[in-house]
């Protein structure tokens, strides 16, 4: 009924200005519908990634980035750094009580790492899937850890495990100006 009313008005009017206004009204409705539809099915997220020292040592940065990009995720910020002892301890503070904590800190500071911000649809879960299980012997075929990890500790990559942690981890290593999109 509403559509018929608009169509009739469009048909009978000779004014270009009037047609423009009505067309804009339709465009706005269409855009709103598309936004609701898009937002319901697609969630663009950012996640934080580290290419760990075992992987940089074996010159695997490019191979790992290929897998990330092949999955549809975009590397929107990236830098190669050498983590300090304090940074590694703070970053993995959640594991401070675990028996492997000190070894993990030594490993993460044993060589350069590549820290990255990845963006894409459901990026947090999507990247965890590309990474594979913590223990490479349990990781699915085709995942980064299955193909490249040396063991449960030297497992080549880190990826955030929640929206909250992704935001904290990204802010820990990157300023807004460094995330260029």
Q: Which stretch binds ligand ATP (CB under 6 A): 14-22, 35-43, 79-87, 154-162?
A: 154-162
CA distance 123 to 14: 50
**β-pairing, 157-159 with 74-81?**
unpaired
Contact region with ligand ATP (CB under 6 A), list: 6-14, 23-31, 70-78, 150-158: 150-158
Total number of residues that touch ligand ATP (CB under 6 A): 10
Place of tokens 């990236």: 78
Q: Indicate whether 166 belongs to the interface with ligand ATP (CB under 6 A).
A: no
155 binds ligand ATP (CB under 6 A): yes
User: Which listed residue (53, 157, 158, 169) is catalytic?
Assistant: 158
According to the binding rule CB under 6 A, does residue 150 interact with ligand ATP? no
Q: Pick the closer one to ligand ATP by CB: 50 or 77.
A: 50
Site string for ligand ATP, 78-117 (x = CB under 6 A): -----------------x----x---x-------------
User: Minimal distance in Å, beta carbon 175 to ligand ATP?
Assistant: 23
Q: Which of 152, 163, 167, 179 binds ligand ATP (CB under 6 A)?
A: 152
82 is catalytic: no
Can you state the angle between helices 123-131 and 61-70, rounded to 10 degrees?
Answer: 130
Q: State the nearest-atom distance from the C-beta of 42 to ligand ATP, in Å.
A: 24
Binding residues for ligand ATP (CB under 6 A): 95, 100, 104, 134, 152-153, 155, 158-159, 161
């Amino acid at each position: 009924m509403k559509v018929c009313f608009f169509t009739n008005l469009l048909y009978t009017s000779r004014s270009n200005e009037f047609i423009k206004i009505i067309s804009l009204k339709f465009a706005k409705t269409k855009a709103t519908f598309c936004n609701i539809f898009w937002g319901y099915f697609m969630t663009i997220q950012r996640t934080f990634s580290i290419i760990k020292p075992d992987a940089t040592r074996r010159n695997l940065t490019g191979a790992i980035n290929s897998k990330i990009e092949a999955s549809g995720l975009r590397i929107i910020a990236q830098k190669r750094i050498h983590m300090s002892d304090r940074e590694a301890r703070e970053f993995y503070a959640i594991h401070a009580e675990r028996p492997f904590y000190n070894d993990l800190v030594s490993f993460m500071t044993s060589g350069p790492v590549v820290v990255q911000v990845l963006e894409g649809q459901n990026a947090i879960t999507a990247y965890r899937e590309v990474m594979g299980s913590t223990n490479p012997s349990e990781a699915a075929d085709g995942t980064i850890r299955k193909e490249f990890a040396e063991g449960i500790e030297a497992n080549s990559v880190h990826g955030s495990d929640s929206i909250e942690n992704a935001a904290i981890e990204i802010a820990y290593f990157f300023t807004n100006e460094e995330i260029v999109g």
